[in-house]
Each structure stands twice: as C-alpha cells, then as structure tokens.
Chains A and B, each alone.
Chain A
C-alpha cells in the first residue's frame, strides 16, 4: 500500500476523517484504556442490540481518543470492523485485523492497535458487568491483563518521578 511519510494512505484516510467519532449517550458498555501520562487514551462506547436471528450484536459503536495519528486511526478502524458484529465474534477480535485493514503500521505504533483491541474488550466486559452476567473466561483474562498493565504503567511512572526527585535532591 502507498505510504505518505510514516503512515499508509488508509491510516491517513481514517486520521483525516475518523469514522464513528463521539460518544454514545446511555451506552451499554464503555471501555476506557490508555493513560494520558504515557500518551494515548481511548474510550470506546458500545450499544448492544439483537439481529434477526436473535443474536446479540454491537448495534452501535463510537470512540473518543486522545493520541497520535496511529491511535486515532486504529480507534476509527476498529469501530468499522466491529459494528453490527455479533458480540460472541467480537470477543474473539484479533488486533491483527486492525493492522491488516490499515495496510500496516510502523513498528513503534503497533501498540496503538493493542490499545484499540483492549478498548473493545473492556467495553464488552463493562457491558457484561452492568448486565450482571457471567463474564466469559477469555474476557475476564483480558480484563485482568489490562488492569495489570495499567497498574504497572502507574507504578513505573511513579518510580520514574521518584528517581527524578532524588536526582534533584542530590544536587
């Protein structure tokens, strides 16, 4: 795929005109991932409905993101990829799909696709939780991993600040 500088044309298209941008009032589930301290923040909103066969589907999906070009493009493209998808299928969502759909991402930006997939898992987790339904094991595991990552980043950041402060004190 043609590249414009760092990014593919597809990434730039999504960056210029993001799809499904904004928030859903009374969303059934919200996934909040990332951290403003280290860079990108993504909030993904889902509205769950049913298709003709009675299966639960992601009826509507929207996002709000603070971040770089890749963060905005991955947010936008994941909404396209999961809209109207049965919830069950969305649980198996593979972040590679995002990279594929975008025609590739620079290696340092792959983590943005991880973040987008995590936002989706968290939104579905939030939906199950709000519904007081049993949470599928896969989703629970994903949630635990995301929580762990979050804590680690916060810890790392705090340690970093501590090192900085000590450096200042020494002088």
Chain B
C-alpha cells in the first residue's frame, strides 16, 4: 500500500474539506473583531453567535451556556480552577473528585489545586477503566465542590456511566464536569438528561480546526474566569475571538450531527473487525478497555514482549500512524497512568498500542493493518530475549 494510513484520530483529526471551505472567508474578508461596533465587527459577532447556537444544539444546551476557548486543555483548566476560585475567594477551601484516568490537563490542574490548599480524591477504576457511580456517591463530602470525570477515555476509549454519575451529583448538590473531548460529536450527549453542569468539547478531535474548543457552563453554575481582560464570552474568557476557528468548529459539529448515526455504525464495524482480527492473529495479545462500552473509533491493545515505541515506528515505516502508552515514548519515561490504573503492570503498558479510526478509515486499510501488524510483532519478539511466541 503506497498511501499513508492514519489511525491516530484520537490524537487529532484532519480538517474536513467542507469545514475548511466555510472557514476561509473569515481570515481575510470577514476578519472583524467581534467587539467592534462597525459592520466588520458585527459580521464577525453574528458568525460567532450562530456558531454558539450550533455547538449548544448538539448537546441540548442553550447558546448562552457555551463559552468558546482555545483548547480542551483550557476548557478543563477553566472548569476546575474556575469552580475552585469561587470557593477560594471565600477562603473556604474545598474538595474535588476526579478519576485516576483523566487526561493530563485534568490531572495536573487537580494537582495544582492541591498545592493551593484544595483536597483531591482520585477515584479508582475497574479493569475496563470504568468508574463505579457508587464510589462517586461515597466520595462526596460536605465540602465537595466539584466532580470531574472524563466522558470517554482518550487512551482506552471506555465510556463512563455519565448519566448515573450526574444523577448522584445532582442529588448531592455538587457540580459535575465531564471532559468530553473524545466523545463530543461522536456519541449522543444531552446535558439536561445527563445532569451535567460543565462539559468540555474540542474542535480538532471531530474534524474541525485546532485552536477552538468550548466549555458548557450550565445556567446558574458559579464559576470565575482564569483569563481576565476585555470581558469576552460573558466575561469568562477574555481574548480576541478566533472567529475562523470557531466557525469551523460549528461547521464540524453540523456535519458530525448529521452523520453521527451512520458513521458510528460504520466505525464500530471496522473497529470490531480490527479488534477481532488482532486478537485472533496475534498470540499473547489483549484488548485494553471495555469490549462494548467504548468509543466507536477506539481500539487499544497490549502485546506481550513487544515494546510500544518500536511497534509505532515499525508501523510508521509502513505508512501506518498509531500511538502507544509505553514509557519509552513519553517525555517522562513513565508508562501511561491510564493503563496502570486499569491494572496493567508497567511492562504490560510498555507493549500497548492504540489504533483510533475516523471518517476516512476504510476496510481496506484495516485489512492492511491486520496483514502487517502480526509480522511486525513477530519480528520484534524475535529480536527480544524472551520466550519465543
């Protein structure tokens, strides 16, 4: 196969050409500042507000509940630090609950808040990466201000019982935030039915451009900004608005909404073919995450006696883009905290491989992966001093 095969859609997605087309006028023609009173500014302002309606509509929120930001990392920082700030200014301190498998931007924000005097509980997950809603209920204390649980894992794709967790938080009167960067636009979300107070979404994970994301902040939810300035986004995110990116984000949302059902079925079929094929063809291979409660586009494995970085580079040499949670591939030389949290030993996490599918993944591509991956693993195992399998 001469064409490159991209199976790292969970890292980022290409911008859909339909999205790009809608964005282009907003660079040089409709370039106005949304805060300007003249027609240039008002044109941009209108595009911004229309985009807000589109993004809100996908999760059954009201337009005034959507705050546009620059990245999911920013949205997550705003959710945690913004809610924490409402307490801290009153010197109340507070307790925050997250899970052990959050994205680093939640993990690190929580760690920083800990250094500022907040207490953090990190909930355990089961071997599939699922949080037990009962654990959330048990962990909530009088001074708990926020529960933040990732909707779908960026690494292993496990989808959390968000509705149950939301219900418990509502009953106990605690804010519930979910990082939906991987699930937004891919699976249905209803912030009302799911009792969500805050929700993070990202444009570049769903065929929109980088540099646009959003935070849903339910009406009445108390939150302070972390960026102060000209008062953009209802005062919650001062910064000149990146209109082109946000218009692209909204167009991406429209497409995802329209095609979600069909695309989900298509991706699930391909994903399951990939999972089945890998587990059948490769000895001592295991699936990470839940067999059913997982994102339609995520497959994550670990292979005994194979190191992840070597696997990813071998695949890359054959034109296949994938990802690993191996320590050797990380800056800190530590294995993925998500894989350790689901009970993998460090050496097992070293052998992990994530293949994430997307809009342009074809069956032919999956067949090709199933043809070459067993050979790569066989080769790497042959080089290793361990049991020959």
Do A and B bind? Answer: yes
Decide yes or no whether A38 CB sits under 8 A from chain B: yes
What is the CB-to-nearest-CB distance from A165 to chain B, in angstroms, rounded to a whole number? 12
Decide yes or no whether B1 CB sits under 8 A from chain A: no
Decide yes or no whether B307 CB sits under 8 A from chain A: yes
Choose one: A39, A72, A171; the contact of B383 (CB below 8 Å): A72
Cβ-defined contact, B307 with A67, below 8 A: yes
Cβ-defined contact, B385 with A68, below 8 A: no
Cβ-defined contact, A65 with B327, below 8 A: no
| A-contact 0/1 string along B311-353, CB 8 Å cutoff | 0010011000000001111010100000000000111001000
Cβ-defined contact, B124 with A39, below 8 A: no
Given A68-B326, A69-B313, A108-B333, check contact A39 B385 (CB 8 Å). Answer: no
What is the CB-to-nearest-CB distance from A157 to chain B, in angstroms, rounded to a whole number? 8
Decide yes or no whether A80 CB sits under 8 A from chain B: no
Q: Cβ of B385: which chain A residues have Cβ within 8 Å of it?
A: 23, 32, 41-43, 64-66
Cβ-defined contact, B313 with A39, below 8 A: no
Q: How far is the CA of A54 from the CA of B61 in the complex (A)?
A: 85
Cβ-defined contact, B347 with A68, below 8 A: no
Decide yes or no whether B207 CB sits under 8 A from chain A: no
Instruction: Look across to chain A and name the residue whose beta carbon is closest to the beta carbon of B313.
Output: A69
Instruction: Look across to chain B and name the residue whose beta carbon is closest to the beta carbon of A76.
Output: B383
| B-contact 0/1 string along A1-32, CB 8 Å cutoff | 00001010000100110100101000000001
Label chain A's interface by main secondary structure: mixed
Decide yes or no whether B9 CB sits under 8 A from chain A: no
Given A21-B383, A43-B385, check contact A36 B347 (CB 8 Å). Answer: yes
Given A66-B305, A68-B329, check contact A16 B317 (CB 8 Å). Answer: yes
Cβ-defined contact, B346 with A38, below 8 A: yes
Cβ-defined contact, A39 with B307, below 8 A: yes
Q: How far is the CA of A72 from the CA of B310 in the complex (A)?
A: 8
Q: Cβ of B329: which chain A residues have Cβ within 8 Å of it?
A: 68
Given A39-B307, A108-B333, check contact A67 B386 (CB 8 Å). Answer: no
Counting contact residues on chain B (CB < 8 A from A), the size range is 20 to 34
Decide yes or no whether B309 CB sits under 8 A from chain A: yes
Q: Cβ of A37: which chain B residues have Cβ within 8 Å of it?
A: 345-347
Cβ-defined contact, A15 with B313, below 8 A: yes
Given A39-B333, A39-B350, A68-B326, check contact A171 B124 (CB 8 Å). Answer: yes
Instruction: Look across to chain A and name the residue whose beta carbon is closest to the beta carbon of B347.
Output: A36
Q: How far is the CA of A32 from the CA of B342 in the complex (A)?
A: 31
Decide yes or no whether A40 CB sits under 8 A from chain B: yes
Cβ-defined contact, B310 with A39, below 8 A: no
Cβ-defined contact, A39 with B327, below 8 A: yes
Cβ-defined contact, B386 with A68, below 8 A: no
Q: Which of A7, A108, A168 has the most CB of B within 10 A?
A: A108
Cβ-defined contact, A39 with B384, below 8 A: no
Cβ-defined contact, B346 with A66, below 8 A: no
Cβ-defined contact, A40 with B384, below 8 A: no
Q: How far is the CA of A117 from the CA of B307 in the complex (A)?
A: 21
What is the CB-to-nearest-CB distance from A123 to chain B, in angstroms, rounded to a whole number? 13
Q: Cβ of A64: which chain B residues have Cβ within 8 Å of it?
A: 383-385
Cβ-defined contact, B347 with A40, below 8 A: no
Q: Cβ of B310: which chain A residues have Cβ within 8 Å of it?
A: 15, 67-69, 72
Cβ-defined contact, A66 with B326, below 8 A: no
Cβ-defined contact, B309 with A65, below 8 A: no
Choose one: A12, A16, A40; the contact of B307 (CB below 8 Å): A40
| B-contact 0/1 string along A119-154, CB 8 Å cutoff | 000000000000000000000000000000000000
Q: Cβ of A41: which chain B residues have Cβ within 8 Å of it?
A: 384-386
| A-contact 0/1 string along B362-389, CB 8 Å cutoff | 0000000000000000000011111000
Q: How far is the CA of A168 from the CA of B333 in the complex (A)?
A: 23
Instruction: Look across to chain B and name the residue whose beta carbon is closest to the beta carbon of A112.
Output: B328
Cβ-defined contact, B124 with A168, below 8 A: yes
What is the CB-to-nearest-CB distance from B251 to chain A, in angstroms, rounded to a whole number? 32
What is the CB-to-nearest-CB distance from B63 to chain A, in angstroms, rounded to a whole number? 40
Q: How far is the CA of A32 from the CA of B386 in the complex (A)?
A: 12
Q: How far is the CA of A36 from the CA of B335 in the complex (A)?
A: 12
Q: How far is the CA of A42 from the CA of B307 in the complex (A)?
A: 13
Cβ-defined contact, A18 with B327, below 8 A: no
Q: A38-B327, A66-B305, A66-B306 are in contact. List 18 more A-B contacts (CB 8 A).
A: A5-B313, A5-B316, A7-B313, A15-B310, A36-B350, A37-B345, A39-B307, A39-B328, A41-B384, A66-B383, A66-B385, A67-B307, A67-B310, A68-B309, A68-B329, A69-B313, A71-B328, A171-B124
Residues of B that sit less than 8 Å from A by CB = 121, 124, 305-310, 313, 316-317, 326-329, 331, 333, 345-347, 350, 382-386
- Sample (20) of A-B pairs whose CB atoms are under 8 Å apart: A12-B317, A21-B383, A23-B385, A38-B327, A39-B307, A39-B326, A39-B333, A40-B307, A41-B385, A42-B385, A43-B385, A64-B383, A64-B385, A65-B383, A66-B386, A67-B307, A67-B310, A68-B307, A72-B383, A108-B333
Which 4 pairs between the two chains have the least Cβ-Cβ distance?
A: A68-B328, A66-B384, A64-B385, A68-B309
